[in-house]
Structure 1
Amino acid sequence: MIFAYRPSETGLERVPGGGDPSDELRAALWVDLLSPQPAQVAAVEALGISVPTLADMQEIEVSNRLYRDGNTEVLTIVLPGLDKHKEPTFGPVAFLITPERLFTVRYHTPRPFETFAAHAGQSSAGYSGRRRVFLGLIEEIVARIADLLEGVGEALDQQSHVAFRDPEPRGDELADTLRALGRQSEQVAKYRHALLTVERALSSFGLGLESDKEKGLREVLKAQVKDCQALAVHGDFLSSRIAQLTDVTLGLINLEQSVASRILSVVAVLFLPPTLVASVYGMNFPFIPGLDHPYGYLIATVLMIGSALGTYLLSKWKKWL
């Protein structure tokens, strides 16, 4: 799919479709390609733009993510979003900054690409040029990652309630907490990775501003780099919270298992003296004292019950139960 946007009085608006695709692209300031089909790729490449494939964007080499192709600056970052099945995922997004317009290529759906057109008028970078649109998009992306990190913080508050405030959390609650902490740790790691790729892209983008005559862009760029660094620090803080809660949860699980093991051990000890009495009088010797006593059964039963009761009282006195 191709979404073409042009400046309006309040922000960015969609370029009306239905006509010649080439005219639609030429009238746009920002062209967003979502999982482009071969015909759509051909329409863009007719303007002299080389559209990277998903395999190209997934390359881990820096030279394949941040480079110049003639007059086009190509910056690739990794962002959270939704796949075609509406499931959370992380994937690459390429920004192609040409002398005339901005192209973006993506194969999943990060939320900022759906909301930026309506918020472009509120961007600190503005939207009057392709560089300003790029910085405005980055601003929307950084704000979205900040919201996601805040969501992780709220989830950690709920997990800490289970770990620190519940009087006796159950084993299934602790297991659910441990799984949730693992998911949140993975999310924070991916958000920090996204921030790292954004910061690298901004640094590469800043090199092209040395001779740029548009005022204020370098200040906006510096502010966004500082935002990325601040959010990375916040991500480290969340990671430390996750590590602490994981240790606490594992400690509570170990305590619960220790209590269960202690109870089972004491219960087993309770039956040792009765078992000893029963074993003595269950031996197959012809002569055992008391076998012919008329109250032998009752005496043995009293011995077994009394020994078990004595062991129980000793365990309670020692606070083993």
Structure 2
Amino acid sequence: MLIAYRPAPRGLVALGPGGPLSEALWVDLYRPEPDEVAALTALGIEVPTLEDMEEIEISNRLYREAGADVMTVVLPGDADEVGRVASPVSFILTDARLVTVRHHRPRPFETFPERADRSAAGCGGAERLFLGLVEEIVARQADLLEGVGRVLDRVSGTVLVREGRSPAQLRVALAEAAGQGELLGHIRLALLTLERALSFFDQTLGARSQGKELRRIVSGQTADIQALVVHADYLSARIGLSVDATLGMINLAQNETVRILSVAAVLFLPPTVIGSIYGMNFRVMPELDHPLGYPAALVVMVVSALVTYLVFKWKNWL
């Protein structure tokens, strides 16, 4: 799917069907079809394939070709087949326009068009549009980090504060903490690749007419990314604490169950010994002929169990 945008009094508006791509300031390609790739090729823009975008060699992630800067970052987003994923997105920046190529749906690409004029860079050119989109992406990562923090607050409340928590609640808390750890990994990868892309873009600003002004914006965005990385490290430590605490509570619950079973087994051990003695098949056992032998054995069993229980209570083992 190809969506082309042009500047408007407020933000960006999509070109109508059949609108000339030469008028577009931003062309967003989502799972591009061959005819859409051909339309970009006619404008002199080579669209990388998904295999090229997934290649981890630096020469395939950040490079300059035919006057266009190609920067590939890895962003979290939704995919129809598997849900949330971290997948590459390529930014192709020319003097006339910005082209983005993606195969999943990061949310900033849906929210940015109507907010493009609100960014610090504005949308008065391809370079400013690129920096505005990066700003939107960074803000989205900050929102995701805030969401991770809220989930960890809920997990901590379940594991460390709530009384009478059930094993099922602990299992849910453990799954939530593990899921947030996976999301945090996606966010940190996005921040890392964004910082590299901005560093590459900063090196090209010397040849641009607004390079000095844009460099200040790049410096501010880089500082924002570094601050988010520090916050991500803090959340990573919290996730480790939440997982350890949840596993500890699960172990304590299991130990309590095993302790109860052990105490029950010990309480029934003396009566079992007595019953086993008088269940032996020896020919000479004088107690078997005693008229009160059976009730006496029952009394001894109850007393032995009671004495064991009292001893356990005295030792504070119960």
Structure 1 residues not aligned, in runs of 5+? none
Specify the alignment match of 2:294 in structure 1. 297
Give the AA of the match of 2:206: E
Task: Output the TM-score relative to the length of structure 2.
Answer: 0.97
Task: Tell me by how many angstroms 1:319 deviates.
Answer: 2.2
Specify the alignment match of 1:9 in structure 2. 9
2:204 to 202, 205, 208: 208
Whole-Å separation in 1 of the counterparts to 2:264 and 2:118: 70
Aligned 8 A contact 1:100 1:130 in 2:
yes
1:242 to 235, 239, 245: 239
Specify the alignment match of 1:159 in structure 2. 155
Residue by residue over 1:235-258, the C-alpha shift from the partner in whole angstroms, topping out at 9 and shown as x without a partner, is 110010010111111111111111
Whole-Å separation in 1 of the counterparts to 2:41 and 2:194: 26
Residue by residue over 1:81-123, the C-alpha shift from the partner in whole angstroms, topping out at 9 and shown as x without a partner, is 1113582222111000112111111111111111111001101
Whole-Å separation in 2 of the counterparts to 1:108 and 1:94: 12
Give the AA of the match of 2:5: Y
Give me the CA root mean square deviation. Answer: 1.2
Is 1:30 the counterpart of 2:34 in the alignment? no
Specify the alignment match of 2:184 in structure 1. 188
1:257 to 254, 258, 265: 254
Give the AA of the match of 2:227: A
Give the AA of the match of 1:128: G
Residue by residue over 1:204-240, the C-alpha shift from the partner in whole angstroms, topping out at 9 and shown as x without a partner, is 0000012322152111100100111111111110010
Whole-Å separation in 2 of the counterparts to 1:224 and 1:144: 13
Q: Secondary structure at the match of 1:4?
A: strand
Task: Tell me by how many angstroms 1:289 deviates.
Answer: 3.1
Specify the alignment match of 2:93 in structure 1. 97
Specify the alignment match of 1:139 in structure 2. 135
Task: Kindly report structure 1 stretches of 4+ aligned residues shifted beyond 3 Å.
Answer: none
Q: Secondary structure at the match of 1:82?
A: strand
Specify the alignment match of 1:197 in structure 2. 193
Specify the alignment match of 2:217 in structure 1. 220
Aligned 8 A contact 1:273 1:308 in 2:
yes
Whole-Å separation in 2 of the counterparts to 1:158 and 1:267: 36
Give the AA of the match of 1:140: E
Whole-Å separation in 2 of the counterparts to 1:242 and 1:86: 24
Aligned 8 A contact 1:262 1:320 in 2:
no
Give the AA of the match of 1:225: T
Give the AA of the match of 1:316: K
Whole-Å separation in 1 of the counterparts to 2:16 and 2:82: 27
Whole-Å separation in 1 of the counterparts to 2:158 and 2:268: 37
Give the AA of the match of 1:11: G
Residue by residue over 1:157-197, the C-alpha shift from the partner in whole angstroms, topping out at 9 and shown as x without a partner, is 10000111111321111111111111111110111001000
Whole-Å separation in 1 of the counterparts to 2:199 and 2:60: 16
Give the AA of the match of 2:8: S
Q: Secondary structure at the match of 2:205?
A: coil
Whole-Å separation in 2 of the counterparts to 1:249 and 1:110: 32
Specify the alignment match of 1:83 in structure 2. 79
Give the AA of the match of 1:69: E
Whole-Å separation in 1 of the counterparts to 2:280 and 2:172: 52
